[in-house]
Amino acid sequence: MRIEIKLGDIIRLRKKHPCGSFEWKVVRLGADIGIKCLKCQRQVLLERNTFERRFKAFVPPASPQPQRSGNR
Ligand SMILES: [Zn+2]
């Protein structure tokens, strides 16, 4: 599946970063996708395929009530 991402999008990955965060900001688009961890600011380059496999959801920038689902 093809995911439409834009620079500056906040996205959530399936796997947790070692720092404990799931959320990343898109900082580079191209053959590789550059994302930056929102918590520890670490930057990672992923091939688009890899990115799409790890991608879980978009995080809306201005969500007044962050949804908390039961699974942790
Ligand atoms: Zn991190």
* 12 against 71, higher pLDDT: 12
> Where do the domains of the chain lie?
10-58
Q: How far is the CA of 52 from the centre of ligand 1 (A)?
A: 19
Provide the strand spans (E) within 1-72.
10-13, 23-28, 32-37, 43-47, 55-58
Q: Which two tokens stand for residue 13?
A: 């990955």
| pLDDT digit string, tens, across residues 31-65 | 899 999 999 999 999 999 999 999 999 998 765 66
State in Å: Cα 63 to ligand 1 middle: 21
Q: Are strands 32-37 and 23-28 parallel, antiparallel or unpaired?
A: antiparallel
Task: Please state whether the predicted TM-score (pTM) of the whole model is above 0.75.
Answer: yes
Q: 65 alpha carbon to ligand 1 midpoint, in Å?
A: 23
Q: Tell me the residues surrounding ligand 1 (ion) with CB < 5 Å.
A: 17, 19, 21, 37, 39-40
What is residue 70's DSSP assignment?
S
Assigned CATH for 10-58: 2.30.30
